[in-house]
């Protein structure tokens, strides 16, 4: 029987489940904690590596400071404050110029990121 067109997806990872899986306890292995928290076995390894890297830079870091980011939030270019400012400017510019094309909006976002020294994908430079 062929695979379905939609494919199979796992359930989205809940932040609290991931935090439970990442609790370091001497009686649990990482995979055992992942199974108990009902998350993927490989996901906690990746997040533990990220947390350990930040903990090495910041000695006061603890498990209470752990922030789980899933989905598109990981590669977000603008924080919520800058995103809101850009959104308001795009709305204002659209009113002035009777609308903007998608290409013009992308150009505005690129210039905004570049002028504010925000880290953005290198592919934005090529377009």
Same domain, 62 and 93: no
- Of the three residues 43, 73, 103, the one that is the final residue of a domain is 73
Stretch 60-79: mean pLDDT: 66
Question: Rounded to whole angstroms, how far apart are CA atoms 100 and 90?
Answer: 8
- pTM, rounded to two decimals: 0.50
Among 77, 45, 50, 74, CA closest to 61? 50
Q: The domain containing residue 92 runs over which residues? A: 80-126
Same domain, 101 and 65: no
Tell me what pLDDT residue 115 has.
92
User: Does residue 42 form part of some domain?
Assistant: yes
Same domain, 66 and 34: yes
**Confidence grade of residue 96 (pLDDT, cut at 50, 70, 90):** very high
Same domain, 60 and 84: no
SS (H, E, C) 60-126: CCCHHHCCCCCHHHCCCCCCHHHHHHHHHHHHHHHHHCCCCCHHHHHHHHHHHHHHCCCCCCHHHHH
pLDDT reading at 122 higher than 70: yes
């Amino acid at each position: 029987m062929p695979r379905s067109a939609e494919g199979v997806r796992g359930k989205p990872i809940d932040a609290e489940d991931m935090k439970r899986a990442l609790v370091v306890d001497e009686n649990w292995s990482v995979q055992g904690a992942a199974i108990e928290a009902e998350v993927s076995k490989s996901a906690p390894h990746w997040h533990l590596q990220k947390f350990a890297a930040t903990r090495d830079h910041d000695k006061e870091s603890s498990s209470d400071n752990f922030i789980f980011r899933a989905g598109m939030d990981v590669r977000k270019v603008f924080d919520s404050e800058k995103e809101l400012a850009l959104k308001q400017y795009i709305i204002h510019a659209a009113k002035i110029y009777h609308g903007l094309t998608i290409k013009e909006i992308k150009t505005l976002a690129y210039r905004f990121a570049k002028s504010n020294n925000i880290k953005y994908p290198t592919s934005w430079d090529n377009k």
